[in-house]
């Protein structure tokens, strides 16, 4: 089998690099992390001609090789280390036709590394509309490369790109310019000290140490001890290099590119004035969120009901058709209810990621980040903190990792500590099941679902809590300075169906399989704990018969009494009864208490835990929601999940740090157990107090 061609896909953010990656690889891709570091690594396989294949590595977006974040640093490490298994045979630099000048800075640096490089100019379908013309042969000659015009939207140019990848050995290796001219004497001394090394690679290693930190120098032999200049001098030389490159780019584009400025003007600026307006911008944003949450509830109700009913029928079928015994009980009462407790929420989670993907694809999400920056700064957060807070609606783990772009340590720390307040998708199953139990299916003004408005409120509550917590931390930690917030506003564009679909599928799959493994394991453990017990558990039939000497109970009533007695005296019942005094002031019984404790592994385990507990011993075909709705308070005779206990539970999960993985990431990012421990204690205490006060008032 022929060895795959290693291809590194590089480019500035917002150049359509993800669209190019998706076109090349389709669904033949996977997402993971770089070894030893929690930076997302996307890779896939592209089929070339005559059975050949290319391994495409989609590197994090970077504006240049002068890294200022861990993501960008990962790009530098890969490109400098030939011993890395992912070191590219060929680099494909994706540029956007409307921002060619800025994008070419990265291209010229990569060319100087003497890596075969292809320039892929994306969004070529805009050239006519934007009155842009390029002299491709002249531009190829000036840049010493091969150029491919792409339109990811129209799927144009990709066969030509595949051909160039296949013929990468024919690409010219000539650098775009001689970097040594910025400081001839300095580079001459460097060349004499390390005569066997590539000067530009050495220069990048030295300046990388200045910019960011120590670099893995697997591909550079010998210690880098050469430094006769101060850090400030090296920074100045680095700036001179950037200026020199832009001079080269300007001179090149003057003769190879023409733009009709008058025709290039469009309605983007006018639309920006509305979407980032200090009043209307917020109104539009909140309206968009409201519509999204309404759709999540309304559109997903039909598939959710189908999934719920299907799992109930599957459990009943297993009980009726398989031989009675522990294995059948495990399937019907442990595995199926546990899996059903997470699969039922696939439609709503898929819709959430669908809308997030659309907002990002259109370019609107960047406007939201810019808009919210005005609010964030008043509460002690960096403008760059907005990105993690918004990302936290999907998952707190990558959101916390996204704080690496915040240069000021204290601002970054505050952002890490408050990000878990934002409502992540793992809270969604808990919110949705409780809301469906306690909030009626009514419409407000004939348009808005009351359940959807409740979900919207919980999202806003999460943001408000994060901002208020940041305000308090800012006063407590005494942040000495603020960093400036800079964000690029991408062009507006219609979302590409393929990109949206791939994002939705990959994110939903990641969520389901990530949670599914935990839920599957916990469901089995919970079933064992609920199906076995010491002492009285094994004598339940005799005890129930002794309590009913007149034999007045029907067969069904006697079986129900035995199952209830066994559940309470099982191992999980004993554990639940032990913690019941702690959770009962919040309106919860021992079953909910067990679900809360088990959900520390992952918040969404809460529903799966209750589904497993309520399924043990049940022979009916009721759905998860029906069983939870039928649960009765033993003393009051009222539904266990009433308005008071339901709101208490919603607020508990709104504030509680119920995620072991998030704590682990906070530990990794802060390099200390002090901050995650304090985070856990504070958020759990706050959640308990708020839930207690809420239940006592409403009850």
Give the pLDDT confidence of 564-599 residue by residue, as tens digits. 787 778 888 888 888 889 999 998 888 888 888 877
DSSP 643-673: HHHHHHHHHHHHH----HHHHHHHHHHHT-S
SS3 at position 11: strand
SS3 at position 93: strand
Mean pLDDT of the chain: 79
Rounded to whole angstroms, how far apart are CA atoms 570 and 119?
A: 66
Strands (E), 282-404: none
Strand partners, 11: 94
Strands (E), 435-566: 443-444, 448-449
> Among the CATH numbers 3.40.50.300, 3.40.50.720, 3.40.50.10470, 3.30.70.20, which is that of 1-265?
3.40.50.300
- Per-residue confidence (pLDDT) for residue 301, from 0 to 100: 74
- Per-residue confidence (pLDDT) for residue 215, from 0 to 100: 46
SS3 at position 350: helix
- Per-residue confidence (pLDDT) for residue 359, from 0 to 100: 82
**pLDDT for residue 490 is more than 50:** yes
- Per-residue confidence (pLDDT) for residue 329, from 0 to 100: 80
Which pair of tokens denotes residue 396?
A: 């707190």
Q: Which residue's structure tokens are 């399989």? A: 513
Q: What is the dihedral of CA 438, 441, 447, 448, to 10 degrees?
A: 20
Read off the pLDDT band of 688 (50, 70, 90).
very high
CB 496 within 8 A of CB 19: yes
Give the pLDDT confidence of 263-278 residue by residue, as tens digits. 445 667 788 888 888 8
- Per-residue confidence (pLDDT) for residue 164, from 0 to 100: 93
Read off φ and ψ for residue 435, nearest 5 degrees: -60, -40
Residue 535 region by backbone torsions, left for phi larger than 0, else alpha for psi between -120 and 50, else beta: left
Give the pLDDT confidence of 201-236 residue by residue, as tens digits. 888 887 775 444 444 444 444 444 555 567 778 888
Rounded to whole angstroms, how far apart are CA atoms 222 and 466?
A: 48
Residues belonging to the chain: 699
**pLDDT for residue 108 is more than 90:** yes
Identify the helix (H) or strand (E) that includes residue 94: strand 90-96
Which of 64-68, 405-409, 627-631 has the highest mean predicted lDDT (pLDDT)? 64-68
- Per-residue confidence (pLDDT) for residue 204, from 0 to 100: 83
Which pair of tokens denotes residue 330?
A: 């495990």
Give the pLDDT confidence of 494-506 residue by residue, as tens digits. 887 877 888 788 7
Q: Which residue's structure tokens are 């207690």? A: 692
Read off the pLDDT band of 685 (50, 70, 90).
very high
Read off the pLDDT band of 559 (50, 70, 90).
confident
Rounded to whole angstroms, how far apart are CA atoms 146 and 155?
A: 19
Give the Cβ contact number of residue 177 at 10 Å: 16
Sheet holding 40-47, edge to edge: 29-33, 40-47, 53-58, 5-11, 90-96, 117-122, 146-149
Identify the helix (H) or strand (E) that includes residue 610: helix 605-615
Residue 6 has what DSSP assignment?
E
SS3 at position 559: helix
Which pair of tokens denotes residue 511?
A: 């969520």
SS3 at position 322: coil
Percent of the chain with pLDDT over 70: 82
Helix/strand/coil (H/E/C) assignment for every residue in 243-303: HHHHHHHHHHHHHHEEECHHHHCCCHHHHHHHHCCCCHHHHHHHHHHHHHHHHHHHHHHHH
- Per-residue confidence (pLDDT) for residue 486, from 0 to 100: 57
Looking at residues 403-410, what average pLDDT do you find? 71
Please calculate the CA angle 71-72-74 and round it to the nearest 5 degrees: 70
Q: Where are the alpha helices (DSSP H) in 478-539?
A: 497-531
Read off the pLDDT band of 394 (50, 70, 90).
low
Which of 142-151, 190-199, 333-342, 653-662 has the highest mean predicted lDDT (pLDDT)? 142-151
Closest among 584, 580, 597 to 644, alpha carbons compared: 584
Q: Where in the chain is the domain with CATH 3.40.50.300?
A: 1-265
Give the pLDDT confidence of 320-329 residue by residue, as tens digits. 888 888 788 8
Least confident of 127-141, 247-261, 274-288, 504-518: 504-518
Which pair of tokens denotes residue 263?
A: 């025709």
Q: Which residue has the higher pLDDT, 694 or 635?
A: 694
Rounded to whole angstroms, how far apart are CA atoms 276 and 267?
A: 14
Instruction: Give just the sign of the alpha carbon dihedral 64, 70, 75, 81.
Output: positive
- Per-residue confidence (pLDDT) for residue 18, from 0 to 100: 83
**pLDDT for residue 660 is more than 80:** no
529 alpha-carbon distance from chain centroid: 34
Residue 420 has what DSSP assignment?
G
Read off the pLDDT band of 77 (50, 70, 90).
confident
Give the Cβ contact number of residue 641 at 10 Å: 24
Strand partners, 30: 43
Q: Which residue's structure tokens are 């998706």? A: 22
Least confident of 127-141, 222-236, 536-550, 633-647: 222-236
Rounded to whole angstroms, how far apart are CA atoms 494 and 362?
A: 6
Percent of the chain with pLDDT over 90: 16
Rounded to whole angstroms, how far apart are CA atoms 16 and 149?
A: 13
Which of 63-72, 114-123, 312-321, 557-566 has the highest mean predicted lDDT (pLDDT)? 114-123
Instruction: Measure Cα distances from 510 to 400, 487, 506 in Å.
Output: 17, 28, 6
Rounded to whole angstroms, how far apart are CA atoms 491 and 598?
A: 45
Residue 1's contacts (CB-CB under 8 Å, 6 or more residues apart) are none
Give the pLDDT confidence of 141-197 residue by residue, as tens digits. 999 999 999 988 788 899 999 999 999 999 998 988 888 888 888 888 888 888 878
Which of 240-254, 424-438, 537-551, 568-582 has the highest mean predicted lDDT (pLDDT)? 240-254
Read off φ and ψ for residue 132, nearest 5 degrees: -115, 135
Closest among 413, 434, 424 to 661, alpha carbons compared: 424
Closest among 435, 461, 427, 434 to 592, alpha carbons compared: 434
**pLDDT for residue 120 is more than 90:** yes
- Per-residue confidence (pLDDT) for residue 38, from 0 to 100: 42
Instruction: Measure Cα distances from 393 to 360, 424, 609, 690 in Å.
Output: 13, 4, 23, 22
- Per-residue confidence (pLDDT) for residue 651, from 0 to 100: 94
In the chain the first and final C-alpha atoms are separated, in Å, by 70
Interstrand relation of 117-122 and 146-149 (parallel, antiparallel or unpaired): parallel
- Per-residue confidence (pLDDT) for residue 28, from 0 to 100: 62
Which of 62-76, 355-369, 518-532, 574-588 has the highest mean predicted lDDT (pLDDT)? 574-588
Whether this model's pTM surpasses 0.75: no
Rounded to whole angstroms, how far apart are CA atoms 675 and 681?
A: 10
Which pair of tokens denotes residue 395?
A: 């998952």
Which pair of tokens denotes residue 60?
A: 């994090």
Looking at residues 129-134, what average pLDDT do you find? 79
Residue 126's contacts (CB-CB under 8 Å, 6 or more residues apart) are 97, 98, 132
SS3 at position 110: helix
CB 504 within 8 A of CB 350: yes
């Amino acid at each position: 089998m022929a060895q795959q061609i290693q291809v590194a896909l590089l480019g500035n953010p917002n150049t359509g690099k993800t669209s190019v990656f998706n076109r090349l690889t389709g669904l033949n891709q996977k997402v993971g992390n770089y070894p030893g570091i929690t930076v997302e690594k996307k890779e896939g396989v592209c089929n070339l001609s005559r059975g050949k294949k290319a391994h495409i590595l989609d590197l994090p977006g970077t504006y240049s090789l002068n890294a200022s974040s861990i993501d960008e640093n990962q790009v530098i490490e890969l490109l400098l280390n030939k011993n890395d298994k992912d070191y590219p045979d060929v680099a494909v630099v994706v540029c956007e036709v409307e921002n060619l000048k800025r994008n070419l800075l990265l291209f010229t640096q990569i060319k100087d590394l003497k890596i075969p490089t292809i320039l892929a100019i994306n969004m070529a379908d805009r050239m006519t509309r934007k009155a842009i013309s390029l002299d491709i042969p002249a531009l190829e000659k000036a840049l010493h490369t091969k150029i491919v015009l792409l339109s990811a939207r129209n799927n144009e140019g990709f066969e030509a790109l595949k051909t160039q990848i296949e013929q990468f050995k024919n690409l010219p290796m000539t650098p775009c310019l001689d970097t040594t001219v910025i400081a001839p004497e300095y580079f001459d001394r460097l060349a004499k000290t390390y005569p066997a090394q590539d000067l530009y690679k050495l220069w990048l290693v030295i300046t990388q140490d200045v910019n960011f930190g120590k670099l893995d120098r697997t591909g550079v032999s010998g210690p880098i001890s050469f430094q006769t200049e101060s850090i400030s001098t090296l920074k100045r030389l680095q700036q001179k290099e950037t200026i020199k490159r832009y001079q080269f780019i300007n001179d090149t584009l003057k003769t190879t590119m023409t733009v009709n400025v008058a025709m290039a003007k469009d309605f983007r600026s006018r639309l920006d004035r509305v979407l980032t307006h200090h009043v209307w911008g917020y109104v539009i944003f909140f309206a968009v969120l409201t519509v999204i949450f309404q759709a999540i509830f309304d559109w997903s109700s039909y598939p959710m009901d189908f999934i719920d009913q299907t799992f109930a029928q599957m459990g009943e079928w297993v009980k009726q058709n398989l031989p009675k015994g522990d294995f059948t009980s495990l399937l019907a009462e442990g595995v199926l209810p546990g899996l059903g407790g997470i699969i039922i929420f696939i439609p709503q989670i898929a819709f959430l990621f669908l809308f997030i993907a659309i907002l990002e694809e259109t370019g609107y999400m960047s406007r939201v980040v810019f808009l919210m920056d005005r609010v964030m700064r008043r509460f002690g957060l960096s403008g760059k903190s907005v990105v993690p807070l918004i990302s936290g609606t999907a998952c707190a783990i990558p959101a916390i990792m996204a704080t690496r772009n915040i240069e000021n340590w204290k601002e970054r720390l505050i952002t890490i500590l408050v990000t878990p307040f934002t409502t992540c998708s793992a809270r969604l199953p808990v919110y949705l099941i409780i809301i469906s139990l306690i909030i009626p299916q009514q419409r407000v003004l004939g348009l808005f679902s009351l359940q959807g408005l409740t979900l919207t409120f919980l999202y806003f509550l999460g943001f408000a809590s994060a901002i208020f917590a940041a305000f308090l931390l800012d006063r407590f930690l005494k942040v000495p300075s603020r960093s400036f917030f800079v964000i690029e506003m991408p062009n507006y564009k219609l979302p590409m169906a393929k990109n949206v679909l791939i994002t939705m599928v990959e994110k939903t799959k990641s969520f389901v399989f990530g949670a599914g493994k935990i839920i599957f394991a916990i469901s089995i453990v919970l079933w064992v704990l609920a199906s076995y017990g010491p002492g009285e558990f094994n004598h339940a039939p005799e005890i129930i018969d002794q309590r009913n000497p007149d034999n007045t109970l029907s067969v069904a009533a006697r079986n129900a009494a035995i199952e209830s007695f066994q559940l309470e005296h099982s191992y999980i019942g004993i554990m639940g009864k032990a913690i019941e005094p702690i959770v009962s002031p919040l309106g919860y019984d021992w079953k909910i208490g067990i679900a809360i404790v088990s959900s520390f592994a992952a918040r969404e385990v809460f529903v799966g835990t209750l589904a497993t507990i309520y399924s043990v011993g049940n022979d009916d075909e009721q759905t998860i929601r029906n069983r939870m709705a039928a649960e009765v308070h033993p003393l009051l005779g009222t539904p266990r999940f009433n308005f008071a206990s339901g709101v208490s539970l919603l607020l508990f999960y709104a504030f509680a740090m119920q995620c072991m993985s998030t704590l682990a990431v906070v530990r990794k990012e802060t390099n200390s157990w002090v901050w995650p421990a304090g985070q856990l204690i504070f958020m759990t205490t706050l959640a308990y107090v708020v839930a207690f006060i809420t239940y006592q008032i409403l009850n």
